[in-house]
Structure 1
Amino acid sequence: MIVRLARPEDEEAIWDILRPTLRAAETYAVSPDLTREEALAYWFSPAHEVFVAEEDGRVLGTYYMRPNQQGGGRHVANCGYMTAPAAQGRGVARRMGEHSLEHAKWRGFRAIQFNFVVSTNERAVALWQRLGFAIAGTLPGAFEHPRLGFVDAFVMFRAL
């Protein structure tokens, strides 16, 4: 599995990954009703550097990296990750996480911070902890889960 910069021809595969995750509304604090164009504009924001995880020519996951803040906070990266439903449990997120740690360090970032990890996304929380991230804070009831109601979100952090 390779992780590489996304190209314009990856947009359809990326949309196929974004759509089910956004529609489920269980892990991202964005509107589940985003159109294809809106979702791709969000993912490919000018501030985002977008990557894909690819195996045998198939895009299995995608992530973006950006500075978490401007000015005095620009040395901390922020990322968002999504894996294709059919590829979950195959190490795609782990590979993208490892790549993001390497790439952030190469880019000169001193840390990565996740501002909003939904607490019920247990697989993601566990993966980030295995990759050395700590829960730096809990935002009580900050996310409205479509089935579980109001649940906590975590701020997670790892120095590089």
Structure 2
Amino acid sequence: MKKPLLIPLIASSVLLGCQDSKQSDHENKTQTDSILQHKITVAKWVGEYQGTTPCMSCISRCEECPGMAVDLVLNQDQTYTLKRESLSGHNEVEILTGRFRFSNQDQSKLELIQVKTRHLIYVDLEQQLLEILQDNTGHLYASEADFILEKKV
């Protein structure tokens, strides 16, 4: 008689232990998932930005030149892909890739490393746009509206 009573008690304790273990594993997985989601928060500046700027030799739009289409992708790992295409068709499409770095603490100015011209950029997170800055000074162009890249949604 002792054996039939003993076996059900062992089986029921094992089953209860498995349920507690499964519930505990589920809670641990949920906590781990929420921690990972918190760590993988995407920076607000990540994305694809597009616009039409004056051609490389101009500091503002001119009537005889249609300008240049610019497409810039900023990645979370601080790499970029820059595509510039002359809308006049005089130059070939230029595709540059590399890394960028922020030049100030609040990450509002960045520099595209390995790009020689128009490589300094002001980041406006509130308006979701980038503004290309003058190469030598880092100042805004006089016709600053001509150098805006808007974030593609």
Structure-2-length-normalised TM-score: 0.25
Greater strand share, 1 or 2?
A: 1
Structure-1-length-normalised TM-score: 0.24
